[in-house]
Chain A
Amino acid sequence: MPGTAELPVCDIDVFSPAALENPEELHRVLRTAGPVVYLSRYDVRALARHEEVHAALADWQHFESGSGVGLANFRHEESWRPPSVLLEADPPRHDAPRRVLRDILAPSALRVLRAAWQRAAEELVEQVLAGEGTFDAFTELACAFPLRVFPDAVGLGPDGRENLLPYGNMAFNSFGPVNDLVRADAHRVAELSAWVNAQCAREALTDDGFGARIWAAADRGDLTQAQAPLVVRSLLTAGVDTTVHGLAACLYAFATHPEQWQRLRERPELARVAFDEAVRWQSPVQTFFRTATTDVTIADAVVPEGTKILMFLGAANRDPGRWDDPDRFDLARDPSGHVGFGMGIHQCVGQHVARLEAETLLTALAARVEHIELTATPRRHLNNTLRSWASLPVRVHRTR
């Protein structure tokens, strides 16, 4: 590969089970190697320091998303599905879908959901606490809560919701190489895609959810009729697994940091900060790619036009150059400026949804639970993009 001679080279398979299971070690290696590191396995340049990742995320002019935000380069390879009109689109095509979704998911538009989500969180927590006090916090809380509130908010019908997590898992795997994780789901692609696509139709959605508002925008001409179902699909792809693993990251953090749980109980208004600190600390979305639109120089290294860069959000979020004691989960820290939701024009349009889910669930828990502890080693689930969980066995002590 020309132009890589002067770059530090890393031949680790960054999507191997070992790296996905324990990315912190890999992140350290990449950050230390230099601002730009050549990954010889995949013939891409990687960024792992906060400064470079932040700058590349913001610089849509030089790093496009339209050639795919995974390893596959849509300039030469076909996507496994019609590309996203948000995530995998650049200005000007990105503008209209982004504006529509931004308005539908704006903090002011979500205000009407707060009371209902608070109630749902309290009910769920009461229900979980009615048992023995030992349970799997991953399935019983982190999965259960988003699945209770989010599909209703979108306006999905009651049937088939069990397909949401497997579809998201498949979609987030697809941003990596075609490895065992991708092959394991290959037989379900057609079936899961067909179900998701069917849910995006106007007729499949209730008339008062995010989905209906997307279709209403199409009726006003703010989107095309062809874009509307793809914008709904973005919600279903990006809005479920992300929050599930984000909430799990929070619960894991508190189960392993009892003093931080006490802090939250004393000051429940820290719930928002706690969630963002957990997103920084665990980075549920670990990586995304971009493609250089021209030869771009980063810290003296040239990224040739048309080639991919891999941005390690998780590594940037623990860069000691940016954060003091970055490996510590600490509610006293100000996590502002983390890149766990990205940055710039593609920055997570659903971040206020995720924060509202987290805030309502954590507040409900903090009011009822004195202490959370692990009862066994939690298990990770491996995904090419998401830092995911399979189980979080816990014991909780109810407030008297």
Chain B
Amino acid sequence: MVVTLEISAKEAVAEGVVALTLVHPAGARLPDWTPGSHIEVVLPDRTVRHYSLCGSRWDAYTYRVAVLREPYGRGGSALVHDTLRPGDRVGVGGPRNHFPLVPSETYLFIAGGIGITPLLPMVQQAELLGAEWQLLYGGRTRASMAFLEELTAAHGERVHIAPQDEVGLLDLGSWLGAPRPDTKVYCCGPAPLLTAVEAACAHWPAYTLRTERFTAAEQAAPVRDLPFEVELRRTGRVVTVTPDVSVLDAVRRVGVDVLSSCEQGTCGTCLTPVLEGSPDHRDSILADHERAANTCMFPCVSRSRDDRLVLDL
């Protein structure tokens, strides 16, 4: 399986925000995910951006992401807004989840701007679990805030909309109230908001606050779209991997067996030691530090960033 998805729809969902719907080109199921997950999208300039999944996982055939046009510089969001069109294909990694929803009787969700995206499936989940929950949703202006109608129509009173031009900065202290042991606080948004929420939760019980930072966590160098070589050191063979095949399939074609199962980068079966080179990790399994170590990879989905990768096969 090659992890390329097709854009099936693109729509404006707020001022400066477009939502993309992604499907498998052959109509296959997409890898399962949990609320808080993001996917890594390889843009036409081969840079990688992380976008939170904000659709429904009860629909196994589509992913939905929402992308804010960033005002300054960073080209990725402009490419999504100006260049990508329905029918285009993009490379995708993950889903990965560094922001999982843990069990709780009560949730307080705080979203700043486009930070609403990972929280959208979380509020649906909190609702399903029958938990008590409230959402505080801030943004510059009402028109810039995505999914307002969807949220208020479905959840009414639980959703507190706070556009800055109408009500000023979020009053976190009074909204959060007194610390409660039965509550988890989830926050996603720009750095100043996270800093403010961290300060406001400083006297809450440990592990109460869970945050996701929108950092420049994308991989440093652009992803390659050229063929690369994989040396199988133990077998003494070299195979060329073209963009249309997975490393796993390329290795199998020269008769080297690698045990696999899910072929989606989720089960861990095809784990392969890396001797040299740096993999372009696309799995859902490894933590960031494990990825950075470059000592192993999942060849069912992951690829190479360099001309040559050496595997212990």
Q: Is A336 an interface residue (CB 8 A)?
A: yes
Tell whether, in the assembled complex, residue B259 and residue A276 are in contact, meaning their CB atoms are under 8 Å apart.
yes
A336 interface neighbour in B29, B260, B286, Cβ under 8 Å = B260
Cβ-closest chain B residue relative to A347:
B267
Distance of A172 Cα from B180 Cα, bound (Å): 42
Interface residues of A in 349-383 (CB under 8 A from B): 351-352
Q: Is A272 an interface residue (CB 8 A)?
A: yes
Tell whether, in the assembled complex, residue B32 and residue A221 are in contact, meaning their CB atoms are under 8 Å apart.
no
Cβ-closest chain A residue relative to B271:
A107
Q: Which B residues are in CB contact (< 8 Å) with A345?
A: 32
Of A91-99, A118-126, A127-135, A178-186, the segment with at least 4 beta carbons within 8 Å of chain B is A91-99
A92 interface neighbour in B60, B101, B184, B257, Cβ under 8 Å = B101
Cβ-closest chain A residue relative to B124:
A92
Distance of A92 Cα from B35 Cα, bound (Å): 9
Q: Which B residues are in CB contact (< 8 Å) with A95?
A: 34-35, 100-101
Chain A interface residue count: which class? 20 to 34
Q: Is A337 an interface residue (CB 8 A)?
A: yes
User: Total interface residues on B, using CB and 8 Å?
Assistant: 36
Tell whether, in the assembled complex, residue B128 and residue A92 are in contact, meaning their CB atoms are under 8 Å apart.
yes
Q: Is B72 an interface residue (CB 8 A)?
A: no
Chain B 65-86: CB-based contact to A (< 8 A → 1; otherwise 0): 0000000000000000000000
Q: Is B103 an interface residue (CB 8 A)?
A: yes
Distance of A78 Cα from B189 Cα, bound (Å): 45
Minimal beta-carbon separation of B3 from chain A (angstroms): 17
Q: Which A residues are in CB contact (< 8 Å) with B57?
A: 91
Q: Is B129 an interface residue (CB 8 A)?
A: yes
Q: Is B219 an interface residue (CB 8 A)?
A: no
B259 interface neighbour in A93, A96, A272, A343, Cβ under 8 Å = A272
Chain B 178-189: CB-based contact to A (< 8 A → 1; otherwise 0): 000000100000
Of A17-25, A206-214, A222-230, the segment with at least 4 beta carbons within 8 Å of chain B is A222-230
Q: Which A residues are in CB contact (< 8 Å) with B184?
A: 221
Q: Is A108 an interface residue (CB 8 A)?
A: yes
Q: Is A157 an interface residue (CB 8 A)?
A: no
B102 interface neighbour in A222, A272, A334, A341, Cβ under 8 Å = A222
Q: Which A residues are in CB contact (< 8 Å) with B128?
A: 92
Q: A334-B252, A341-B261 are in contact. Are A59 and B267 (CB under 8 A)?
A: no
Q: Which B residues are in CB contact (< 8 Å) with A314?
A: none
Cβ-closest chain A residue relative to B313:
A269
Q: A220-B207, A272-B259, A347-B261 are in contact. Are A92 and B125 (CB under 8 A)?
A: yes
Q: Is B226 an interface residue (CB 8 A)?
A: no
Q: Is B290 an interface residue (CB 8 A)?
A: yes
Interface residues of A in 71-112 (CB under 8 A from B): 91-93, 95-96, 99, 106-108
Q: Is A292 an interface residue (CB 8 A)?
A: no
Distance of A59 Cα from B262 Cα, bound (Å): 13
Q: Is A61 an interface residue (CB 8 A)?
A: yes
Distance of A94 Cα from B207 Cα, bound (Å): 21
Q: Which B residues are in CB contact (< 8 Å) with A93?
A: 129
Distance of A95 Cα from B259 Cα, bound (Å): 26
A221 interface neighbour in B102, B252, B262, Cβ under 8 Å = B102
Cβ-closest chain B residue relative to A95:
B34
Minimal beta-carbon separation of A291 from chain B (angstroms): 16
Q: A106-B285, A108-B290, A347-B267 are in contact. Are A96 and B261 (CB under 8 A)?
A: no
Q: Is A344 an interface residue (CB 8 A)?
A: yes
Q: Is B269 an interface residue (CB 8 A)?
A: yes
Distance of A344 Cα from B30 Cα, bound (Å): 11
B58 interface neighbour in A61, A223, A273, Cβ under 8 Å = A61
Tell whether, in the assembled complex, residue A343 and residue B261 are in contact, meaning their CB atoms are under 8 Å apart.
yes
Distance of A343 Cα from B97 Cα, bound (Å): 20
Tell whether, in the assembled complex, residue A351 and residue B267 are in contact, meaning their CB atoms are under 8 Å apart.
yes
Q: Which B residues are in CB contact (< 8 Å) with A106?
A: 268, 285
Minimal beta-carbon separation of A248 from chain B (angstroms): 21
Minimal beta-carbon separation of B309 from chain A (angstroms): 19
Interface residues of B in 36-88 (CB under 8 A from A): 57-60
Minimal beta-carbon separation of A189 from chain B (angstroms): 29
Q: Is A246 an interface residue (CB 8 A)?
A: no
Tell whether, in the assembled complex, residue B102 and residue A107 are in contact, meaning their CB atoms are under 8 Å apart.
no
Chain B 253-267: CB-based contact to A (< 8 A → 1; otherwise 0): 000011111110001
Interface residues of B in 261-311 (CB under 8 A from A): 261-263, 267-269, 271, 285-286, 290, 296
Chain B 231-259: CB-based contact to A (< 8 A → 1; otherwise 0): 00000000000000000000010000111
Point out which of A61, A95, A334 has the most chain B C-beta atoms below 10 A from its C-beta. A95
Q: Which B residues are in CB contact (< 8 Å) with A58?
A: 29
Q: A59-B29, A95-B101, A345-B32 are in contact. List 6 more A-B contacts (CB 8 A).
A: A61-B58, A92-B128, A221-B102, A221-B184, A222-B100, A351-B268
A-B contact pairs, 15 of them (CB 8 A): A59-B29, A60-B32, A92-B35, A92-B101, A93-B129, A95-B34, A106-B285, A108-B296, A220-B207, A221-B104, A221-B184, A222-B100, A227-B103, A273-B257, A351-B261
User: Which 3 pairs, one residue from A and one from B, show the smallest C-beta to C-beta distance?
Assistant: A221-B207, A336-B260, A92-B125
